Amino acid sequence: DLFLLSFATILTIIIYVFFKYFFAKPKEKIPPGTFGWPIIGETIQFFISLYYGMVHEFVQERTKKYNSHVFKTSLLGQKVVIFSGPAANKFIFTQGNKLIIGWRPKSVQKLFASTSFVPIEHDTKRAHNVISYLLNSQNVERLISTMDNMSHLHLKNHWKGKNEVIVYDLVKLFTFSLSIRAFIGIKESDKILNLYEKFKIFTYGLLAVDINLPGTTFYKAMKAGNELRKQMKVIIKQRRAELSENPNLSKVDVLTQMINEQDEDGKYMTEVEIEDKVFGFIIGSYDTTATTITLTMKYLQQMPEFFNEIIQEQNEISMQMMPRKELCWNDIQKMKKTWSFVNEVLRNTPVVQGIFREVIEDFTYEDFYIPKGWKIYLSFGATQKNGEYFPNPTKFDPSRFEGNGQVPYTSVPFGGGHRMCPGKEFARILILVFLHHLLKNFRWEPKVPSEKILYPFFLLAIPTDGYPITLSAV
């Protein structure tokens, strides 16, 4: 009996092993790479490279090592697949909407209350609807006029007569003021300054550790957010009263449009949704735009040959405008060399080096299996600084973006496809209008020529000293 039992046990094991290895479904092939040390993974190397604006080197080194534009790693205890290349950009921005979503850190989820009940894809669709109204043919000329007047007044009040200024601080105040005007309709400078101080505190908490204890960055951000919501409730209540009295009130700002916005079922946004979207629009527009303008000024001063070409383009536009004084849509369209220069700045020094996403459904990409729950990091810089797509990538050359421009999805500072940033055109117009007035009135020299550009909050490129300059009037 013992012999038969032993024989049966051994036979069972042999049959199990045979079926497991010869008839079982083949194991899915996950991307090459390493998860590194337990929990830590490659977090230290990644975040050091992120801080110094060198994520593209981190990615390119491993892309070459694994001979793949897709590889796995581990960051902050999370399994992450890193993507790069135009095919990856296109996939993430056009085909991945049902497979991946934006990854919102816990701090963002807590600071933006509507994230608990509004899907990201729904959020994005409504954002596009609202912003597209602001930029339609009926409203864009009014918007350009507002930007034109505010640029002129800002330079007159904060730059004119000054020997020295810190560019990033001033430009950030300007882009914030413009965003508040366009999105909420507030014009009073004292109210704008009050909101500006609160938004700075609120923004610092977005990537902070979500410890809500007195004295922490996150606690201060939550407190500032609550104060901002109180103010927004008053503004929304007042705007609704105005619309009730006059249903045909012109929708001259984003807030008014949001109050009127209905989804396909005829439902209006809740007050929390409106607040969150306004906050999102403001944060997404003023900081990145201010960084772009600051970096453009820094590169312009370093590149006299391109500086002179752009000055010539702007002077020609000024001559063609006469006797008209305000810029219009047609003038913006003529600023081709200026915008090519800005695009090359963004290629060379991405304002944001990449984006994180979360996998919500298992999928296969380039024969690699990507499991649900894993995170994705899409590296912009690894593509934008790749000689295969941008010959001699270390050379600053705005002509790359002239004519037909680049191969689609090689340079994606504003995203692409249906994931294109809804505020791209808003930012483009604002940058060009401000540069037009700046170049018409001033020249500058850096006070710290060797100033570095770092990513101190692991998010946006910022000159370490804010780009201090000495000014001279034209």
Alpha-carbon torsion angle 303, 402, 140, 323, nearest 10: 70
Q: What is the average pLDDT across 183-212? A: 90
Q: Judging by beta carbons within 10 Å of its beta carbon (0-12, 13-18, 19+), is residue 24 exposed, middle or buried?
A: exposed
Q: Is residue 308 part of a domain?
A: yes
Q: Is residue 423 part of a domain?
A: yes
Alpha helices (runs of H) in 23-139, residue ranges in sequence order:
43-51, 55-66, 86-90, 106-111, 120-134
For residue 31, what are its two tokens?
């991307």
User: Above pLDDT 70, what percent of the chain?
Assistant: 89
Mean pLDDT of the chain: 88
Reading phi first (left if > 0) and then psi (alpha if -120 to 50, else beta), residue 327 is in beta
pLDDT of residue 26: 47
Specify whether 329 is located in the same domain as 218: yes
Q: Which domain holds residue 148?
A: 120-352+413-473
pLDDT tens for 364-399 read 998 999 999 999 999 999 999 999 999 999 999 999
Q: Is residue 394 part of a domain?
A: no
| CATH at residue 206 | 1.10.630.10
Q: What is the pTM of this model?
A: 0.89
147 vs 418: which has the higher pLDDT: 147
pLDDT of residue 9: 63
Q: Is residue 1 part of a domain?
A: no
Domain end residue (candidates: 389, 405, 440):
389
pLDDT of residue 21: 45
pLDDT of residue 424: 87
Specify whether 135 is located in the same domain as 233: yes
In 3D, which of 398, 400, 399 has the Cα closest to residue 390? 400
Find out whether the peptide bond into 323 is cis, omega within 30 degrees of 0: yes
For residue 257, what are its two tokens?
């449009």
State yes or no: pLDDT of 5 exceeds 60. Answer: no
State yes or no: pLDDT of 290 exceeds 90. Answer: yes
pLDDT tens for 207-244 read 788 889 999 999 999 999 999 999 999 999 998 888 88
Question: How many Cα atoms within 13 Å fall on the side-chain side of residue 15?
Answer: 6
Flag the least confident range among 44-53, 114-123, 156-165, 447-456: 114-123
Nearest-5° Cα angle at 374, 361 to 372: 20
Q: Is residue 347 part of a domain?
A: yes
In 3D, which of 375, 373, 374, 393 has the Cα closest to residue 384? 393
Q: From CA 116, how far away is CA 342, in angstroms rounded?
A: 37
Residue 357 near residue 96 (C-beta atoms within 8 A): yes
Q: Is residue 402 part of a domain?
A: no
Annotated ligand binding at 421? The verdict is yes
Under the banding of pLDDT at 50, 70 and 90, the label for residue 421 is: confident
pLDDT of residue 118: 54
Specify whether 328 is located in the same domain as 340: yes
Q: What is the average pLDDT across 116-144? A: 71
Specify whether 105 is located in the same domain as 134: no
Q: From CA 171, how far away is CA 294, in angstroms rounded?
A: 7
In 3D, which of 466, 157, 471 has the Cα closest to residue 301? 471
Q: Is residue 439 part of a domain?
A: yes
pLDDT of residue 246: 79
In 3D, which of 411, 174, 131 has the Cα closest to residue 289? 174
pLDDT tens for 17-74 read 555 544 444 467 899 999 988 888 999 999 999 999 999 999 999 999 999 999 999 9
pLDDT of residue 94: 84
Specify whether 73 is located in the same domain as 200: no
Q: What are the angstrom distances between the C-alpha of 274 and each of 99, 115, 146, 233, 256?
A: 27, 12, 23, 10, 10
Q: Is residue 297 part of a domain?
A: yes
Q: From CA 360, how far away is CA 375, in angstroms rounded?
A: 9
| CATH at residue 34 | 3.30.43.20
pLDDT of residue 461: 92
Axis-axis angle for helices 167-183, 140-158 (nearest 10): 140
pLDDT of residue 407: 83
Domain count, the chain: 2
Specify whether 347 is located in the same domain as 358: no
Residues 6+ apart with CB under 8 A from 211: 218, 219
Q: From CA 400, how far away is CA 433, in angstroms rounded?
A: 22
**In which order are the strands placed within the sheet that holds 442-446?**
164-166, 468-473, 442-446
Q: What is the average pLDDT across 97-101? A: 81
State yes or no: pLDDT of 457 exceeds 90. Answer: no
Specify whether 54 is located in the same domain as 188: no
pLDDT of residue 25: 47
Strands 363-365 and 468-473: unpaired
Residue type at 236 in one-letter notation: I
Specify whether 146 is located in the same domain as 109: no
